[in-house]
Chains A and B, each alone.
Chain A
Amino acid sequence: MTAVVGIQDAGERLDGDPILTLDEVSKHFQVRTSTNPFHPASTLRAVDGVSLSIERGETFGLVGESGSGKSTLGRVAVRLDAPTSGTITFDGQSIENQGGEQLRRTRRQMQVVFQDPLGSLNPRMSVGSIIGEPLRVFEGLRGSTLTDRVAELMRSVGLDPSRAAARPRALSGGQRQRVGIARAIALNPRLILADEAVSALDVSVQAQITNLLVDLRERLGLTYLFIAHGLPIVRQVAQRVGVMYLGRIVEVADTDDLFANPQHPYTRALLAASPVPDPTVRRERIILHGEPPTPLNLPSGCRFRTRCPMAAEVCAQVAPPVVQVSPTHTVECHFAETSGI
């Protein structure tokens, strides 16, 4: 086990020093699908047996369409929700059964940057008190020590410290998200869950915030679980990417590897759907038909078979095995090694 502290360049991999490990994690919800009170509740499998390991100092990108369970997986990973089954290990400690004060202590080590910057900031608190609140509560900072530290945090996320008295409402979308980021890094956490942290922003602001996140990772040695619904933004920030479909991670690989050599038909379809800023490039278009099936009633065998252009008989009968394409590349597909490499 190599103990690596802090900074690491994009693309470089650290092996065997995971900060967060999920093993066969599931999150099921019981939902009523009928108004008949005697009709039993159905099980919605939002996350269904996901195993995943995030190395210290890396950015793990998680992509998938709406309803794929990526946000639920993120929430369970940082224990905003409890998993239905499976184990979660954070920093060598098993946290899936933690509760109360113990869980609150763990949570200080893993902060969240939310998708909706305005909604995640208390409208009745000033920017300065939002950023300073964790420092007041957990580090007991007061007076000028507190204001100095808040000003320092604001500068480090590119905010003018003179805006500390402003309310979130008075800021622009990008500035609001910077406040959310400053709050998240205030206690020097180990892990940050960025749940579609830039999706709600203008494209130009998206790039600024993404750069800020990358910059902070390098400066502070942070680890990110970066959730997005599009591949291009993930390509920009992540060293490794997991593609999620209907509650399972169907393919995981290093970012470059995934983009150069996608194995799962779903990953290929996602890549084909991403625009390339070059009009001369002619690409094979893969069009997926229909909506993803409901996680209340999953298809037999492979869960992607109903939309898969390569679906065969075996797909309906047997769940696909986890195929190791390379030591760092796994995919869940019956045709992984044979499909059009």
Chain B
Amino acid sequence: MAAATAVAEATVLRHRTWRSRVSVNNVTLGFSLAWLAVVVAAAALPGVLATDDATTLDPTRVLTAPGEQTLLGTDHYGRSVLTLLVHGARAALVIGLAATLLGMLIGSLVGLVAGYLGGAADMLLGRFVDILMCFPGVLLALVIASALGASTTNLIIAVGISAVPGFARVMRGQVLTIRGRLYVEAARSAGFAPGRVLMRHILPNSVAPTVVLATVTVGTSVVVAASLSFLGLGVRTEIPDWGQLLAMGQPYLAGAWWISTFPGIVLTLTVIAVSLAGDWLRDRLDVD
């Protein structure tokens, strides 16, 4: 008896150390969350983080290196790169979040219906998702964006639709698993209507992977949106978003590397931070 308990305890301990090894450790997570807080703050209150104006041109400080007059240098119009980055955060975040939300809603609905109904509905929706999946995400977004024309809404739609197949696949697979669980059977045997079984018993137990995928998708959506902007399919505004900033710095890369490099670093850090936060969320949501 005592031996059995000791063995059980040892198993639990081994399990815990194993988990902490694969999980995001606290320091990395701290940095990630802190970085995301900075990005969100920049998007919400750009005026606080960058005091000078992002639209004022200053010919006296064109293409100055980082540290000379401003922390991250200036572009060919004399605007501070830091200021541009701070002001570009809002566009990046809004597009990333809205596109993810759109992709998640459509994709999850498709997956939910396909997984629950099965049969012909599953086949039809599955083929539709397969067609979307044939194209790489960026290419799909590129096609949609060029067909719809450049505007923030169209950019969100383009990036959002490119995220649909992922959400549909994940939700369908999850619903197929949960649909066979005994408590779903119990709900059916109690005489509950299919809508209730789906919304109260299947959906709440199927969302965890979707939430994790959503966090990762926010990151990739920011990148896809930036890529489209880089290619000139984004929104043309006075204040460039991160993708445009990258594109803008390209001709000057040999002499003024800072215009493209810092947006690249910021973009990379944001995507990494978002996916690490997603990993952490997955561990927290894991009930099974």
Contacts and interface: CB of A to CB of B under 8 A. Distances in A.
Q: Do A and B come from one complex?
A: yes
Interface of A: 78, 80, 101, 104-108, 111-112, 114, 116, 119-124, 133-134, 137-138, 169, 180, 183
A119 B182 CA distance: 5
A116 B190 contact: no
A137 B205 CA distance: 20
A112 B181 contact: no
Contact of A104 (B183, B185, B191, B205): B191
Interface of B: 181-183, 185-193, 196, 200-201, 204-205, 287-288
Contacts of A138: 191
A254 B65 CA distance: 97
Given A120-B182, A122-B205, A123-B205, A108 B190 contact: yes
Given A114-B186, A133-B200, 17 more contacts: A101-B193, A106-B191, A107-B190, A112-B186, A114-B185, A119-B181, A119-B183, A120-B183, A121-B186, A122-B183, A123-B183, A123-B205, A123-B287, A133-B187, A134-B192, A138-B191, A183-B186
Contacts of B196: 137
A303 B183 CA distance: 35
B191 to A, nearest CB: 4
A131 to B, nearest CB: 11
Contacts of B186: 112, 114, 120-121, 180, 183
6 contacts: A80-B188, A105-B191, A120-B182, A121-B186, A122-B205, A138-B191
A106 B191 CA distance: 8
B182 A134 contact: no
Given A122-B205, A124-B205, A124-B287, A107 B183 contact: no
B175 to A, nearest CB: 15
A104 B193 CA distance: 8
Contacts of A183: 186, 190
A186 B167 CA distance: 38
User: Which residue of B181, B192, B201, B287 has the most chain A CB atoms within 10 A of its CB atom?
Assistant: B192
Given A105-B191, A108-B190, A122 B185 contact: no
Contact of A116 (B182, B189, B205): B182
Contacts of B181: 119
B192 A104 contact: yes
A37 B288 CA distance: 37
Contacts, number: 59
Contact of A78 (B183, B189, B193): B189
Nearest to B190: A134
Nearest to B208: A124
A114 B187 CA distance: 12
Contacts of B204: 122, 124
Contacts of A120: 182-183, 185-186
A112 B186 CA distance: 7
Contact of B182 (A108, A111, A114): A114
A119 B196 CA distance: 19
Contact of B185 (A80, A101, A169, A180): A80
B53 to A, nearest CB: 50
B189 A133 contact: no
A105 B193 CA distance: 10
Nearest to B288: A123
A80 B189 contact: yes
B209 to A, nearest CB: 14
A107 B182 contact: no
Contacts of A122: 183, 187, 200-201, 204-205
User: Which residue of A80, A114, A124 has the most chain B CB atoms within 10 A of its CB atom?
Assistant: A124
B276 to A, nearest CB: 26
Contacts of B205: 122-124
A197 B98 CA distance: 49
Give the 5 A-B residue pairs with the shortest CB-CB distance, closest first.
Answer: A119-B182, A107-B191, A104-B191, A108-B191, A120-B182
B178 to A, nearest CB: 10
B117 to A, nearest CB: 15
Nearest to B202: A122
Contacts of A114: 182, 185-186
A169 B200 CA distance: 18
Nearest to A180: B186
A114 B185 CA distance: 10
Contacts of B287: 123-124, 169
A86 B193 CA distance: 27
Contacts of A104: 191-193
B183 A121 contact: yes
A112 B192 contact: no
Contacts of B288: 123
B49 to A, nearest CB: 40
A203 B243 CA distance: 67
A107 B191 CA distance: 5
Contacts of A123: 183, 205, 287-288
User: Which residue of B190, B200, B201, B287 has the most chain A CB atoms within 10 A of its CB atom?
Assistant: B190
Nearest to A168: B183
